[in-house]
A and B are shown apart, each in its own frame.
Chain A
Amino acid sequence: MSAVLVPRPATAADDKKVLTVAVSQSVDSLSPFLASRLLSTSIHRLMYEYLTNYDPKDAHAIPGLATKWTPSADKLTWTYTIRSGTKWSDGKPVTAEDAAWTFNKMMTDENAATANGSFVSNFKKVTATSPTQLVIELNKPQATMAALDVPIVPKHIWEKVKDFSKFNNDKDFPVVGNGPYVLTGYKADSYVRLEPNKSFWRGAPKFDELLFKYYKDGDAAVAALQKGEVSFVADLTPAQASALEGQQNIKVNDAPGRRFYALATNPGARAANGEKFGNGDPSLLDQRVRHALFMAVDRTTIIDKVFQGHAVMGDGYIPPRFSTYHWKPSADQEIGYDPAKAAQLLDQAGYKKNGDGKRVGKDGKPITYRVLCHATDPEDKAVGQYLKEWWADLGIGITLDCLDNVSDPWLAGEYDLAFDGWSVNPDPDFVLSIHTCGALPATPDDVGATDNFICDKPYDKLYAQQLAEYDPAKRAGLVKQMESRLYDLGYMNVMAYPNAVEAYRTDQIESITTMPEKAGNIFGQDGYWSWWSAVPAASGSDDSSSSTGVVVGIAAGAVVLVAAGVFFGLRRRATADDRE
């Protein structure tokens, strides 16, 4: 059954301080070369050091495995100083060679590039010039070199792997690593167990065990928290949050999230070769129409009614928690809520109302937009109903296409508007790149990295500039210009930044670092701060089932099971003609 090599007492009655985290997402792979899901990558953050990390206060790059990194004058060579004297959990030293091997593997083996290949696509050569020096040569300047989110693995273990597409790193425990925790056990959809790495260079975590335990149903996870069976639950619904609010020994953490929630407009889908496809409504190619539609969206109502206060009003593309890059429109640039002005704009653009009060397109037919929404997302559906109301007042009809899988019509460009949202990283490069012309599919039959077919020359020029700008302040300035341009275009209208709503037991967790530290989330951070820093509560009522509880429980279960049967069974009466 389990292949756990760590000796452990067979009784649960020991005083181990266990931090139990309720999770629902399945692990896609425990190999850092394959894993892309949030849970898996969060676990890799705990198992392996990265070259750099992000400061818990403001997410700027800070040392990880590398203590220093400097670019050459021509911007094409980066030299990293690797921390000396740290060890893998099996006692072997960690050197620049491990990092060089990790990157080279991704550059030479297609299967090893599955998860993080994009980080090395611009690398020309990676070498370890000494045990403490790593040199990366680039094809083009790249400003994201302190944001390489790639777990560095031990060469002496991983060079034995034959097929990177099939090795999932989930059979032999403990798994050798150098992060704050060591992976000591895993059973699919049951649990992931980690134990502190006593020799971690920042200091070992305070808990004796970190256990990610599966609760596939949100309400069951909340019940487990109330009981004390788990210490922490993430992704609470507003209803669950208010139910937990004010309960004894439970703290609800309602923190600024890293997501934006937007309404995207089809800009006329096309491929990189210039071919147009899809069937977006041509009226949406008029900027005045896009602005008018957004002016009729009352974001305050969306925050209050749909998110029930668990969100922040949206404006710029990057959420406010990333203070370095967050941008807000000025008062005269802002597309605020103003239905009257929205109607004026539509009139100016030539979309007048007919006798029935419906606005008419250039083809003489009343305008009805198709809005793509995720059937699994209650927010999409709720906001969709409001849009119906608000835009009907403008004289515009909509049909909500709520699908389990929106990617087909989306990729085919067969929609007018769509609900869209992304999680943003400390380095904004990726979420900016998905709106460049370079991300368009090669031909209509291909799939590109584009989010929704935006292709705008001035924006692209700024994108190239920021990627080659090594001065952080100047780069931030360029990124803000890009956000401003994106805002004016009106193809991506950010409505809200949903909060991360989580809860934990204060009788099990004394203190824990959020990110950002002032007010931020605990689960799925860019770094290992929360689980590494967590301090067990002194009173720690470790709710492991005592053997009496088990016996009582099983007995009770048996009683319930046979009670009904016995009840009727005992009522067997002898018949009148019964004889011995």
Chain B
Amino acid sequence: MATDTAAAAAPKKTERPGTGYLRYGAGKVGGAVVSLFAVLVTSFFLFRLIPGDPVKYMTGGRQVSNEQLAAYRREFGLDLPMWEQFLDYCGKALTGDLGTSYQFRAPVIDKITEALPNTLILTGTAFVLYTVLGIFLGTRSAWRHGGLGDRLNTGLALTLYSIPSFWLGLLLIIVFAVGIGPIPGLFPTGGMESGSEEGFAYVIDVAHHLVLPVITLVAVEYGQTLLVTRSALLDEMGSDYLTTARAKGLRDDLVRRRHAVPNAMLPTVTLIFVNLGRTVAGVILVETVFSWPGLGGLFYQALSVPDLPLVQGLFFVFAAAVIVMNTLADLIYPLLDPRVGR
């Protein structure tokens, strides 16, 4: 942890230790709760603006009588006035019931819990890798900024960052899944499993399916972490305490690891939590290219109907994940940097 060498005089306040943090924390948590409620309201009304008649979609291309159509509307509560639908939605949401998906005839919460682990396996693995890689390369880039390594590093990261992920994915499929010239097809072309494995073989099978989509995600994502880490560290580089540390005769990488990096981590921590919140939403393009059965693909399907309960449910879960993660970040800052939250 950073020791505050700037040695500001201790504040002469007569408050019990800890109350400051508690008040700060309570404020942040309260804000999060308000935000969550706002998301609930928004999700309901926002998606009512999508054109399309869900009932007509559900019966698309089939012979239905007007009685049947009316029955559908009754079943899904679409015949009630908007405000009644809204109250119903809020009441149920509080009990964890997000309604029933139009197209899958299953509770929305079930569809989400079915796909969420798949998404987290993919985005979670990628998240850990691109965060570690981004911080590792970012700190080295900054430490020797302007050098050849730095220029190569940032150049490569920016190039990959600006490549469309689905294009990179397809390229990897062609080269490493189908195989080109001397390169044999090493990986599956898509999906999360081959559908015939169990036990330990299943774990290996999923890992095997993970490689290409994870590489794709890491390639396009690590640049962001790298650049944020690099610029934050560059801001710290000229600080007096680093000169002091060097003057004490510490080894260069110790100066970097023990002194400079911890103080430069705040922006990176923010980004880490934002990214962590984003992992829940899945990644529509990469999930599509690699046929990954996750939430991104589910959201796309939900929107195209529009499958209102499923769209609302997913939107709420995605937003909640981001809000929760940002709140966590807020709660952790004071522990990283005592100047925050006072």
Contacts and interface: CB of A to CB of B under 8 A. Distances in A.
B201 A10 contact: yes
Contacts of B211: 553-554, 556-557
Given A26-B301, A28-B105, A190-B195, A217 B291 contact: yes
Contact of A188 (B114, B176, B178, B202): B114
Interface string A567-580: 01101101101110
Nearest to B197: A12
Interface in B31-55: 50-53, 55
A36 interface: yes
A408 B53 contact: yes
A554 B203 CA distance: 12
B178 A226 contact: yes
A211 B61 contact: no
B59 to A, nearest CB: 8
Interface stretch (A301-309, A442-450, A479-487, A524-532): A442-450
Interface stretch (A46-54, A113-121, A360-368, A510-518): A113-121
A114 B74 CA distance: 13
Interface string B14-32: 0000000000000000000
B173 A220 contact: yes
B186 A556 contact: yes
A554 B68 contact: no
Interface residues of B, number: 88
Given A8-B198, A113-B68, A188-B293, A407 B56 contact: yes
A187 B291 CA distance: 13
Contacts of B198: 2, 4, 8, 10
A220 B149 contact: no
Interface string A406-427: 0110010000000000110000
B318 interface: no
A211 B195 contact: yes
A338 B340 CA distance: 79
Contact of B252 (A408, A564, A574): A574
Interface stretch (A153-161, A388-396, A543-551): A543-551
B105 A229 contact: no
Contacts of A217: 166, 170, 190, 288-289, 291
Contacts of B178: 223, 226-227
A407 B293 contact: no
Contacts of B249: 577, 579
B230 interface: no
A300 interface: no
B63 A449 contact: yes
B192 interface: yes
B218 interface: yes
Interface string A200-217: 000000000101011111
B66 A553 contact: no
A351 interface: no
B242 interface: no
Contacts of A579: 249, 251
B105 A29 contact: yes
B133 interface: yes
A132 interface: no
Given A422-B61, A578-B251, A411 B56 contact: yes
Contacts of A137: none
A495 to B, nearest CB: 19
Contacts of B192: 190
Contact of A189 (B66, B297, B304): B297
27 contacts: A2-B198, A10-B197, A10-B198, A10-B199, A29-B105, A29-B106, A31-B105, A36-B60, A36-B61, A110-B71, A117-B64, A118-B63, A188-B114, A188-B115, A190-B192, A216-B297, A217-B190, A220-B289, A220-B290, A223-B177, A224-B177, A550-B205, A550-B208, A557-B212, A564-B137, A569-B140, A572-B140
| A-B residue pairs, 5 tightest by C-beta | A557-B211, A189-B293, A118-B63, A191-B195, A405-B52
Given A407-B53, A575-B251, 15 more contacts: A12-B201, A28-B104, A168-B105, A189-B293, A190-B195, A211-B195, A213-B195, A214-B293, A446-B69, A550-B204, A550-B208, A565-B133, A575-B252, A578-B251, A579-B251
Interface of A: 1-2, 4, 8, 10-12, 18, 26, 28-29, 31, 34, 36, 110-111, 113-115, 117-118, 121, 165-166, 168, 185, 187-191, 193, 209, 211, 213-217, 219-221, 223-224, 226-227, 229, 403-405, 407-408, 411, 422-423, 430, 433-434, 441-442, 446-449, 544-545, 547, 549-550, 552-554, 556-557, 560-561, 564-565, 568-569, 571-572, 574-575, 577-579
